[in-house]
Amino acid sequence: MTLLEHTKNAPQAWSGNLPVTSRYTYGLAGERFFRAMKDEGKIMGSYCPKCDHTYVPATVFCERCLGELSEWVDVGLVGELHTFTVLFVDCDGNPLEEPELVGLITFGDGGIIHRLEADPDELEIGMPMEAVLKPKAKRKGSILDIEGFRAVSK
């Protein structure tokens, strides 16, 4: 039975949707985090001296002590591959034409979920991986300014 297979004797149905459109702000931290990414090509974290904890992406507050975080740190573009998956279906359950790679790259005490530009067979948990940024002129201040992560070239 595949994800999308429905039984033949399923009850009658009609269709409707919940139309919701949103306009989000970046927030206090996001404004600064994405400006640094767009203008300077940097991934920023924020450090809580009280909890000795570095948030990546940067936040303006520490969720552990609720202190305000003013120490921002450039964590570099190279993080560690913490875990990954190879996707064979999309979120509607349809098979993907080409499998996609998604990984968690850790920086500081946090990390970034993103696409991996790699051959699944060459991936090893714990290996260093580097953010591939779009050229500056094409960056818009979005997580998609990072095209993906690839193995650090030796």
Partner 1 sequence: MGMRKVAVIGAGMTKFVRRAQETPKELSWEAARMALESCELTMDDIQAVCMGTAPDAFDGVHMKGEYLSDGAGAWRKPYLRAFVGGGTGVFTPIQGWYHVASGLFDVVLLVCEEKMSSFYPHAQAAFVTIFDHTTERPLKPNLLWIFAIEMNRYMTAYGINKKDIARVAVQHKQNAANHPCAMLGEADITVDDVLNSEVLAWPVQRLDVSPVSDGAVAIILAAEHVARRLTSKPVWIEGVGWNLDTAYWTNRDLAYPRYVEYAARQAYEMAGIQEPRKEIHIAEPYDPFDYKVLHHLEGLGLAERGKAVDLYLNGTAAPDGDMPVCPSGGLLGVGNPIAAAGLMKIAELFWQLRGEAGARQVPGSPKKGIAQAWGDLMQVGTVVIMGR
Helix, strand or coil, per DSSP, at residue 34: helix
Alpha-helical regions (H) of 1-154: 27-40
104 binds partner 1 (CB under 8 A): yes
Distance separating alpha carbons of residues 68 and 48, to the nearest angstrom:
8
Least CB distance to partner 1 at residue 110 (A) = 5
Residues 6 or more apart whose Cβ sits within 8 Å of residue 78: 128, 129, 130, 131, 152
Q: Minimum Å distance from CB 128 to partner 1? A: 16
Span near Zn ion by CB under 5 A; candidates 8-16, 51-59, 80-88, 92-100: 51-59
d(CA 43, CA 147): 13
CB 111 within 8 A of CB 83: no
Write the interaction track for Zn ion spanning residues 117-136; mark x where CB under 5 A is met and - where it is not.
--------------------
Q: Is 48 near Zn ion (CB under 5 A)?
A: yes
Site for partner 1 in 27-86 (CB under 8 A): 27, 30, 34, 55-57, 63, 82-86
* Residues 46, 72 contacting (CB under 8 angstroms): yes
Q: Which residues bind partner 1 (CB under 8 A)?
A: 1-4, 6-7, 10-11, 15-16, 18, 22, 24, 26-27, 30, 34, 55-57, 63, 82-93, 102-104, 106, 109-115, 120, 125, 142-144
